Every structure is written in C-alpha cells, then in structure tokens.
Amino acid sequence: MKIAIGSDHAGFNYKEQIKKWLIEKGHQVRDFGADSDKSCDYPDFIRPVAKAVAAGTYERGIVLGGSGNGEAITANRVKGVRCAIAWDLRSARLSRAHNDANVLSLGERMMAISEALEIVELWLNTPFDGGRHLARIQKIDAE
C-alpha cells in the first residue's frame, strides 16, 4: 500500500518508528515531515499528507501529534479526507469499517508505541463494510 505519513514535533518519535515498521511490512511510504522533535506548526506537515491522500497519490495517510486532535482537525479540512483519531483498537476498527477513514490520526502522548503499532496494523487491514454508510460518505465527499 502507498502511505503518506506526517507529524509535528510531538509525534515525531512515533512517526519514525511507524514509518520503519511500515517499510519493513512492504508498504511504500512518503514522509512529509517533521524532520525532528524541535517545536513546529503541525499544519505545515499534516495538510500535505491530507492533500496527497485526497488527490489519490497515496491510498492512506497517517498523521501524528501529541494527542492527534489538531492533526485530525487539519486533515479533515481537506475535501475527500476522512480522518479519524484512534486511541484504541476499537476506535481504529470502527473508523475503517463504518467510516471508511482514509487518514488515521494518532497521539504519541496517548499510548505506548506497541499500542500505536497495533492500531496501525488493524486500521490498515480493516476493510470498509460498505452497506448503509457508503451513500452517506459519497454524498459528503461530493459536497
């Protein structure tokens, strides 16, 4: 899978570890930054991830910050992006199965790296269940 990834300074360490894990699993990954844990403005790195996913250049995106909230808000401002915050396996699974989320937002301060990797793996492998949700999502994307 082609995956875009980006973070601010507060999500930098997990971004680096998740990126390495994704590459080891055979995914193609583009890192949109940040390039260190030095304080920075998250929209500078999150918006390009969201735009790349919305354009179809990447199948999925992963964005990271301290809590993941600001990153999700920023990503969801891009038409065609459905970014979900996941703080556990259940929220990750439901974001894919029910919402067809194409961008995942994680908070480094909210979980251990082992949990973050479990969330990413489940999120990448959970299909959208379609059904009654599909028409609603397509309508929202068209607006």
| Contact indicator for 135, 100 with CB cutoff of 8 Å | no
| Contact indicator for 35, 92 with CB cutoff of 8 Å | no
Known active-site residue 71: yes
In angstroms, the CA 41 to CA 43 distance is 6
Q: Nearest CA to 88 among 118, 65, 67?
A: 118
Known active-site residue 118: no
Selected catalytic residue, list 16, 59, 98, 118: 98
Strand partners, 5: 31, 62
Number of residues that make up the chain: 143
- Amino acid occupying residue 104: L
- Annotated catalytic residues are 71, 98
